[in-house]
Amino acid sequence: MKQSLRLHTAIAIVVANMVGTGVFTSLGFQVIDIQSVFTLLMLWFVGGVIALCGAFSYGELAASMPRSGGEYHFLSEIYHPAVGFVAGWVSASVGFAAPTALAAMAFGKYLKTVFPDIPEVHFAAGAVLLITLIHANSVYWGSRFHNVFTFIKILLVVVFILSAFFVQNAQPISVLPDAQSFALLLSPHFAESLIYVSYAYTGWNAAVYITSEMENPQKNLPRALLIGTLLVLVMYVLLNFVFLYTVAMGGLKGQLEVGFLSAQQIFGTLGAEIMSVTISLLLISTMSAMIFVGPRITKRMGEDFEGLRIFSKTNAQQIPVISMLFQTGLTLLFIYTSSFNQVLTYASFALISITSLTVAGVFVLRYKKPTLPRPYKVWGYPFTPAIFLALNLWTLIYVFQKSTFESLIGIGIMVLGLVFYFLTRKK
């Protein structure tokens, strides 16, 4: 495929994959168990550190093995094709379809705050179908559509943050820690809340799925991962400070549309409605990134496995349309059959497991292939990947204890992928 995606497009894909549903919906779940402003902001900082450590690690793997496919490609080379197949299966089944569904659900929820009578589920499904149609017809227009909406999204976040400092009835909060704040940092509640934050940061690895379509991937791919992740870390910490600065914690508890509640305090009722519509429209950027990137993994699997050959087929513009339609079908299934919280938990559990196995591959690959050319080496090795693995393992243990059923679904998805691998057989 023609290498036509430049650095700014790759950064836009990383940013758009992350900034979306999670940051505008998850704080309401976190304040149920954590009422410390310092601890809540540290949640988003720690989540950003985890994502940065992952981005550093993925940068080395992607520069050493520059081929599209992400974890599917990495794990097949590092461990065994069966492990890579499971990673690809997770990406194809929940890695992109589930986050797209979550973004679409949030899209419908935010629109419903302004237009109470609309069928939010059908609007969510309609948005997915429209974006799929755009990306299935043209890489040129699809990438420009995506870049424009991502730029507007970042502009909205900046305006939102700056406007908060002019609010008249600000909350009397303090970001300074106390004894309880430090105790909460080591509590199960902090680890459980990290699953929401980890979901919000999901997408920091997005550029690795389009490696073969990038200009100079050995140089630009690590840059895209690091710049995109760092930008989002700063935006997330500031955005959550704004939410806490403008809305009382009691008003945030259990609420999904935290962006709308904050906008009400900043801009008034009419301004909040306009902002809510704007946020819903900008979730289109998140859906766009997932719909653009996800089918590239399924396409790679179709090239490698006889039983999945149909997914390798492309149109005249080399767009994997069948893979795209398959992912869209799964997305619609999630939208119509699952709750927001259920999709978030089992998707996040499976994705964190796969990314952890991939980052562990940095250690494995350095041991197995010490002479492999590495145009980019992970900064802070071995501590950087070790921090990523330790924090993710800590999160997974507590999430499994609290949400055992949803965690077992995530494990079941991975086991099903392993079974399907032996049924399809590698060509």
CATH for 274 = 1.20.1740.10
Enumerate residues 6+ apart whose C-beta is below 8 A from 299. 311, 312, 314, 320, 323
* pLDDT at residue 69 is higher than 70: no
Residue 48 is assigned to a structural domain of this protein: yes
**138 vs 249 pLDDT, higher one:** 249
Judge whether 293 lies within some domain: yes
Look at residue 1 and tell me if it is in a domain: no
Looking at residues 110-123, what average pLDDT do you find?
82
pLDDT band per the 50, 70, 90 thresholds, residue 142: low
pLDDT at 386 over 90: yes
> Closest by alpha carbon to 37, among 249, 221, 209?
249
Q: How confident is the model at residue 289 (pLDDT cuts 50, 70, 90)?
A: confident
- 372 φ/ψ angles, rounded to the nearest 5 degrees: -60, 130
Which pLDDT value is given to residue 1?
41
Say if CB 63 and CB 218 are below 8 A apart: yes
What the block records as the tokens of 387 is 């921090």
Q: How many C-alpha atoms does 84 have within 13 Å on its Cβ side?
A: 22
Q: Which residues pair with 426 in a beta bridge?
A: 305
DSSP per-residue string spanning 247-309: S-HHHHTT-S-HHHHHHHHHHHHHHHHHHHHHHHHHHHHHHHHHHHHHHHHHHHHHHHBGGGG
Give residue-wise pLDDT tens across range 172-181. Answer: 877 777 778 8
Residue 168: DSSP 8-state: S
pLDDT at position 364: 93
Mean pLDDT of the chain: 80
CA 169 to chain centre: 33
Distance of CA 5 to the CA centre of its chain: 20
Q: Which residues lie across from 305 on neighbouring strands?
A: 426
The answer to whether the CB of 196 falls within 8 A of the CB of 22 is yes
**59, 141, 368 from 196: Cα distances, Å:** 24, 33, 35
Residue 82 within any structural domain of the chain: yes
Do 16 and 285 touch, CB atoms closer than 8 A? yes
Cα separation of the two ends of the chain:
22
Mean pLDDT of 336-345: 72
pTM above 0.85, yes or no: no
Model confidence at 427, in pLDDT bands (50, 70, 90)? very low
Cα(231)–Cα(200) distance, integer angstroms: 14
Number of domain units in the chain: 1
Any idea which residue has 């993710």 for tokens? 392
Residue 2 has pLDDT above 50, yes or no: no
> Cα-atom radius of gyration of the chain, to the nearest Å?
20
Q: Is 20 helix (H, G, I), strand (E, B) or coil?
A: coil
Q: Is residue 2 part of a domain?
A: no
Contact present, 321 and 388 (Cβ < 8 Å): no
Check if the beta carbon of residue 64 is closer than 8 Å to that of residue 375: yes
- Structural domain span for residue 136: 7-424
243-256 tens-digit pLDDT? 888 888 888 887 76
Question: H helices of 91-175, where?
Answer: 97-114, 120-137, 139-164
Question: Does residue 257 surpass a pLDDT of 80?
Answer: no
